[in-house]
Every structure is written in C-alpha cells, then in structure tokens.
Amino acid sequence: MLNFSGRELKPHSPHVLETEGVAKPLLSVRNLEVEFRTSRGLVRAVRDVNFDVAPGEIIALVGESGSGKSVSALSVMGLLPKANSEARGSITFDGRNLLSLNEHEMRTIRGRQISMIFQEPMTSLNPVLTIGLQIIEPLQTHLGLTTAQAEARAIELMSLVGIPDPESRLNSYPHQFSGGMRQRVMIAIGLACNPKLIIADEPTTALDVTIQAQILELMRDLTRKLGISLIIITHNLGIVARYADRVFVMYAGRLVEEGNITRIFETPRHPYTMGLLLSVPRLDQGARSRLNAIEGLPPDPSKEIAGCPFADRCPFRIEICSQPPQLEFTDVGTRSACFRSDEIAEGKLKWRSPQGGGEVVSLPKAKTALVELQQLSKSYWVKKGGIFGRIGEVRAVADLDLQIQAGETLGLVGESGCGKTTVGRLLLAIDKPTRGSIRFDGQDIYQLNKADFARYRHDVQVIFQDPYSSLNPRMTVAQMVEEPMIAHRTERSREARQDRVRSLLDQVGLRPEIAERYPHQLSGGQRQRVGIARALALNPRFIVCDEAVSALDVSIQGQVINLLIDLQKQFDLTYLFIAHDLAVVRHISTRVAVMYLGRLMELASRDELYENPLHPYTRLLLDAAPVPDPELERQRPVRVAPGEIPSPLNPPQGCVFSTRCPLASAECKAQVPQPREVRPGHYVACIKV
C-alpha cells in the first residue's frame, strides 16, 4: 500500500499511539472546554481537547484561524479574559492543575516555568523600555537576581540567541531592532528563567525565510540542549515537517487528527488534514497546477454543531457524518476523528477540489514588455545617531534594470529591507525615483501629462498585504468596490456601477449578500477577495500584489492563489508578485527576480531559478525554505546565511552580499557586480559565476 506521498507504507501497530518510551507528560490537557460570552451569544472556542506534551518534546498545533489553537495556549498560560470567558476540564502541569490556581499562584508559574513567545514582537515588547530592562525584569521578579547579576544574565541570553554585541544593545529600544532581532529578544525573554515549557504562537509569521530558519534552528537546538518542551502554533506546514515530533490538527475548536509527524504527513486519515496538505504550494514541485483548496468557511462557533464539524466542506461526507465522530486510532498508529478513515487508508477516497484542483495550468507565453525599469534608484535621507545626528543616505533601490512582459507574473523575493516594497511603491507612483525611469507601455510615467497619468492610475492597481488595514472600516463592501468607478468615472449611472459590483463579487467568489457587510464582518479570505475585486473594478492591465497571501491561513491562501491564476487567464492580467514565501512564488510566477539590499542578484524563469540557482544568496534562500515533507526535511541540512542584513545606512563596499557570502573574496569586496546573462534569460550579479 502506498502512503499520501506515494511512498511504500511500512507496517505499523494500529493499537499504540507513537509515544512509546516517552517519559511522564510535563503537560497534560484533558477535556478542555473554553467558552466566551459575547453579544452574539455563547461562543464555544475549544471543545473537549486532549493532548500531552513530554519533557523535551516539540509538538505543533495546526489549523485555520478560529480553530482554537491560540485559545488553547492562552488557557495553559492563564491569560484568558476573566470578564467573559470560562475554561473547564483540567490542565495539569508538573503535577498541578493550572485551572484550579488563583492569579497570584499563576504568576509564580507564568514566565518562570511556562513562557510564551507571541506572534508579533513589535506589539509584545514595550516600546518605551530598553531591551535590557525587558529581559532583566523577569530575572529580578522570578529569580530575585541583583541588577548586576540580571544584566550579566541578560548579556548571556542575548549572546545565546545570536544578537551581536549584546553589551551595547542592552540600551537599545525595540524600534532599533529588525523583525528577526526583535523575535530573538522575545526568545531571550522566554528563556530567561529556564522554563520547562515554551509556547510559541506563530513565532515566524512575519519573518523572512532566512531569519525564520535561524530562529527555529536556534529554538530547536535550545530545546534539545536544555530539555525544554516546545509547543509551536503555526499554519506553515513546512515548519511543522522540519521541526515537530508530533502534530495536532484542530478544526472548529476540536482535535480532528493527531500523531507522529511522519505518519500524519505521509498517511493522513482525516479529510481536513488531506485538504491542508494539498492546499500548500510546494517548493520541490515545478508544475503550475491549481491547488486542491478547501472551499467554504469553518462553522460559526456561536452555533451548536450536531455532527462532524467538517461535514459541510468535506468531499467525502455521507449520512453517518450527521453524527459526531470520535478521535480513534487508525491503522498507522495516529488518531483521527473521521468515520471514513479506513476507506481513506485503502485509497478509495481521493481529495478533489470542486474548483478543479490538481489541473495543470499553462504558463503565459512571452509577449512584449509592458513595464520597463531602467537604472531605477530610490534613496531616502535619514538622520544617523538620533535627532541631532548627521544626515545619512539609505539606498532602498540601486540601479535596477527589469522588464515585466505583458500577461506574465514576475515574482520578486528577498529579505525584509531588500527593496521589494519600494519597487512596488515606485511602480504605483506613490514615490518618485531618485534616478532612472519607469516605462509603462513604452511611455515614461513621470513624463506623462495629467490626462495620460490619470489613465496610468486607471491601468495599474494594487492588492495589499493586510486587507483589514487597507479597507475602509466605515464603508460597506459595495461602496469600496464602487469607489474607484466613481473616482475615474468609468460607469456613469448608479445602476451600471451596482451591476458591475455584483459581477465583480461573483468573479472573486463572494456571495451577493456580502455587498452590504463591513470589513469587520468578513473573514480574512473574504477581505482579501474584496481587495482583489476593488483592484479589478477598473479593468486594469497591471496589478502589484504586495504580500497578497502571506497573512492568510493555508486553506484560504490556496483559494486566493487559484483565484489570481484564474483571473490572470480570464482578463490577460500582468502581475508583480512580491512575497517572501518561496513556494508560493514558484507556484504562481512565470519568472522570478531576487533582490538583496536594493540590488538585483538573480533573474530567471521560474523553473530555471529554482532548479539551477547560481547566485550564493539565491541558494541560501532556497536551502532555508522548509518543505512540507518530514522525510525530506530530516535528510537535508538546513543552511542559513550568517549574520544580519547590513544596515542600509552603511552598506558594504563592492558586492552588497559579500559580508554574508560563503564564497566572498577580496575582489568581491572591491567590485560591484552587475547582472549579466550567463544563460539564455538567466541573469546573475556575481563575479564568481
């Protein structure tokens, strides 16, 4: 029998969950129920959840937003709002039931024995306190260290998590650190009191692939070295495959599948797990095909669910699914809450998306250049060393030459600070370049008269990363989609505009009743679809997608990616797709450009760049990106670029990557390499290639 990955399935006892030889659990959650009292009534966020965590073990909680992952973690930490929530069941940590403890008793455990790394360090760190004070505070509170002892321990912790020059950085503030460095500070705070358990809630969501790899490699090494247990909450299945020992899949507040990481990925026995795995673009797969996205939305947690909570979205549902399934052992030693797990095991049931997932989509053929960037440069002038410091130049984009063909998708990747978003802003004419030109359909956009520039604004639109902050909270969906038509006077009558709004909402897969709702009444995927509908309202020719799917759950992300591919084919659209998820970029792009510190490092067709990367930086990016395949991840070494990106105020001489490049020589540090064509259509800016 073959498994989910097409490999031969090895025999396994169906009677024992794969925890043989594991010590007594450090954390044991039993029959956990969490309810919130809201204006909509009682919301059951977590329903009868059970799991254990052994000492030194790494487990992962996965599932869509609203599945109960973070609420379960906050229950363990005792951080649920007291005014409107109630947790029942038992959470036994090191022999004590945490739900029976009062707030004072919890404070002696929280931070000392159990710590939490939150999703967004910029909002979790106090902006008015120095980094040093924030690391020192738990040391003095829980361990009673003197100021000198606490400072010495803080310096030791900062060195441990890879922060250079820790003595001088103690007095820095959070805004003076990069995203990766702030996350390292959060890890240092989490490790400060030598806890027994760390809960990491989406610890790398906002991080680039290289920083993500550095952070997670560090956390894994520390858990192994110090015997710390780790719970990772994430929707990145590549991270789960690379680092977790066991995985727990949650849906609608319930556990629907659990078990050993290899078994769950190779032989999933629940349709929801199958759907999640098939919704993920894979870095190691080249064919551009439709993803088997999970259509629809999770059930409303304020309403009672009589049967299987996944039944309305499941392609395998039958009459018995109207009854609630139990979490039971499968033939591979995992546990699944599905009546048809045996049929799945026998290969009788294959996941097929109602939207035709798995179908190969042909790449658009090369046409004439629609967008041409020539020697494009953008500099910002900032003060160095505080408000009284001297003026310094930040070169966000430097001498960029790039063409985007009509009808193609150009993927633009690189670490934060490399200039990706600045390129997008320049193309949208939000900023003006310091030097160089942008030509659209043969015309320099900054030489256009008022009427032609208005037409350019009409033809070029944007899909933002965060739809919630980019949509007006005081306008309905219909008003937001209609607004560009009013501004550009494309539809004269109100009736024509309303017809156009209904048509656009239908094209992006939204029901007509959505038109009268406000952004806060929509899910993340629905808000992103509204952003896409708004971008399409003027029938544009070119769309800048700035991290358009990075904030979405795996299943919603798959839906939006399929939608973007369909719309491109239907309307002959051209995309600039800015992202840090290399698997998504490979799936959707025609060609891919790699940037580093404002400069172009490599440019090639999608398959050529991913299969034959030539620049050392591109290789490091691809090596750092995880693949949702535990067997493959266990075999390949993880290589990460050493150090941090240099300050753009003081970039390296010569090649900007020379300070982190494993191949750098004295020549690299003296000469700025220019992109040159080393193969047909394959450009590399490296003197070693």
DSSP 616-684: HHHHHHHHHS--S-HHHHHHS-----SS-PPPTTSPPSSSTTTTT-TT--TTTTT--PPPEEEETTEEE
Torsion angle, alpha carbons of 528, 534, 539, 545, to 10: -40
User: Are the CB atoms for 385 and 555 separated by under 8 Å?
Assistant: no
| Order of strands, sheet of 114-117, starting from the edge strand that comes earlier in the sequence | 114-117, 197-201, 229-233, 58-62, 246-251, 254-260, 335-336, 328-329
The residue assigned the tokens 């759907």 is 275
The whole-angstrom separation of Cα 567 and Cα 457 is 20
State the amino acid at position 506 in one-letter form. Answer: D
How far, CA to CA in Å, does 263 sit from each of 28, 50, 351, 408, 585? 22, 19, 18, 39, 28
Measured between alpha carbons, how far is 634 from 656 in angstroms, rounded to an integer?
32
Q: Tell me what pLDDT residue 364 has.
A: 64
Closest CA to 60 of 223, 181, 185: 223
Can you list the pairs that 632-635 forms with residues at least 24 positions away whose Cβ atoms lie under 8 Å?
632/241, 632/284, 633/238, 633/241, 633/242
Tokens found for residue 427: 């193309």
Residue 8 DSSP class? B
Confidence at residue 118, expressed as pLDDT on a 0 to 100 scale:
83
Structure tokens of 294? 């999970």
Question: How confident is the model at residue 18, as a pLDDT?
Answer: 43
The CA-atom distances, in angstroms, between 228 and each of 26, 94, 113, 576 are 10, 13, 10, 43
CB contact set of 541 (below 8 Å; sequence gap of 6+): 370, 406, 441, 459, 460, 572, 573, 574
Nearest to 45 by CA among 199, 203, 251, 306: 251
* List of the chain residues with pLDDT < 50: 1-2, 8-22, 387
- Is residue 371 within 8 Å of residue 574, measured between CB atoms? yes
Q: Which domains does the chain have, with CATH numbers?
A: 1-113+195-280+289-360 (3.40.50.300), 123-192 (no CATH), 369-601 (3.40.50.300)
Q: Which helix (H) or strand (E) holds 287?
A: none
Structural tokens at position 418? 């490399």
Q: Concatenate the DSSP letters of all residues of 328-358 into one string.
A: EE-TTS-EE--TTHHHHHTT------TT-TT
The C-alpha angle with vertex 287 and arms to 281 and 293, in degrees rounded to 5, equals 40
**Of all helices (H) and strands (E), which one includes residue 85?**
strand 85-93
pLDDT of residue 483: 93
